[in-house]
Amino acid sequence: MRCAADAVPAVCVDGEIVPDWLGGADAPWLRELLFAAQAFAGRPVAALRAHWRALEVPPRAGARWPHVLAVVRQRVVAAPPRASRLREAVFAAAAAGSARDAAIAAGAAATGVPAAEVEARLFADLGEQRCVRWPPQLDVDAVRRAVNGRFAQALLGTATAAELELSGASRALLRTAWLHGAHFRCRGSDATGARLSWRAPPADRRAGRRLAAIVPVLGWTRRFELRAECRWRGGRGTLVLTSLDALPVGAPVAPFDSRFEAEVAAALTLELGDWDVLREPAPVPVGERLLFPDFGLVPRGGGAAAWWVEVAGLRDPGALAGKLQLLREVARYVLCVPAGRCPDGWRGHPRIVEFAGRGAARVRQVVVGVGSRVVASG
C-alpha cells in the first residue's frame, strides 16, 4: 500500500534517501506563485484552486509542485466563524414560507450579520467556500521550510531506528519527543553534545510518526544530525537531517525559565570571558537518569574541563534531595540554591553556592560563587 513517504520526491544514493529539498534556486517561481495567490485574498478557496489547475507547472518545481500547493493552501485557509446558526435561521424562515429577502433579513436579525453579507457567509465555513485569508508571515522562506518539513516528517513516519547527535535545547527537544511517545536513550555525552538513539517498539506502526514530531524543534538546537532508517518506495535507506537543512522552525522555545536565569547567563558571559556559556547543554547521563543542567561552561581552547551549573529555584522543595545527590555523582557540577533551603549538613560544600536578596545582588552572588569555583579548579 502506498504511503505518504512514497510521494516524497527523492533519490536513493548509496543507501541514503536524499529528498529533492526546496532551496534558494526555487525562490523565483515560489515568489511568483505566492504573488498570484495573494490576489485571491477574500475570495473562496475554490477560485484559488481553479487558478492553480489552469497554471502550467514551473519546470523547476517538478514533482514538488503538489506539495507546495498543499502547504500554501493549508496556511491561507483559516478557520472561519461557524455559520451553522446563520444557515439555521435563514433556512427555517424559508421553510416557513418567507420570501428570499425576508429569509435573509431573518438570518441577519438572528446573528447580527449585516444583511448584505448573509449570502456570502452562508456557506463560508464549508469546504471550498471558505475564504482565502493571507497571513503576514507567509513568504518564500516559510513555504520552503514547510515543504521540506513535510518531506522530512513523511519519511520519518516510516522510521524504525534513529541516531541523533545534538547540542543545545536538548531539554526542549527530548521533552517534545517524550510528550509524543518517542523515547530516546543516551549513548554518551560531553560538554559539546549528546549522542542519542531511538528504536521503534515492536509492532508499533505509528512509532515513526511520534518521532517525526521533533522536526519543528530541531531548528532550535545549536546543532544536530539525525540519521533514521526509513522506508521509501519499496526499499529502505537512511534519511540524514542536519543543522544545515532548511527545515521548519516551530514555536519559539523559551530561552530561559525565568528572568533570574537570563540575568545569571548574561553576567556569567561577562564574568568568565574565556568560557562559553551554553544554555541547556547536552544532558549528562547519571546511571539510568539524565541530568539537564541549566548551563554548561566550556573553556575556549580546551585548557580545562567543562562545568555544569544548575540554578535551583526549588518550587518543589522535595526535588532538593535529588539535586544534592548529583553533587556526589557528577564531579564538575555546581548547584546554586536559595539561602535557607540548603540543609545544615551541606552548608560549606565546595560546589554549593547559596544566594539571597533580590535583583542584581542575588545575581552577583551566584556569578561570583560559580566563577570562583570554576576558575580555581580550571
Over the chain (378 residues), the average pLDDT of each successive run of 10 is 84 96 95 92 87 92 95 79 74 85 85 78 70 86 96 96 88 84 84 86 89 92 93 95 92 76 87 84 74 82 77 66 77 83 80 81 82 71
CB neighbourhood size of 249 (10 A):
16
pLDDT score at 344: 79
pLDDT score at 303: 61
Domain map of the chain by residue range?
Answer: 84-123, 259-377
pLDDT score at 1: 45
CA dist list (Å): 351 to 160, 199, 347: 43, 37, 10
Whether residue 192 contacts residue 167, with contact meaning beta carbons closer than 8 Å, is answered with yes
pTM over cut 0.75: no
**What would the grid cell of residue 323 be?**
539535586
Whether domain 259-377 has CATH 3.90.1310: the reply is no
Please provide the size of the chain in residues.
378
| Helix or strand (DSSP H, E) at 69 | helix 65-76
Whether residue 75 contacts residue 135, with contact meaning beta carbons closer than 8 Å, is answered with yes
pLDDT score at 41: 86
Q: Is the dihedral of CA 244, 249, 253, 255 positive or negative?
A: positive
pLDDT score at 359: 74
pLDDT score at 70: 93
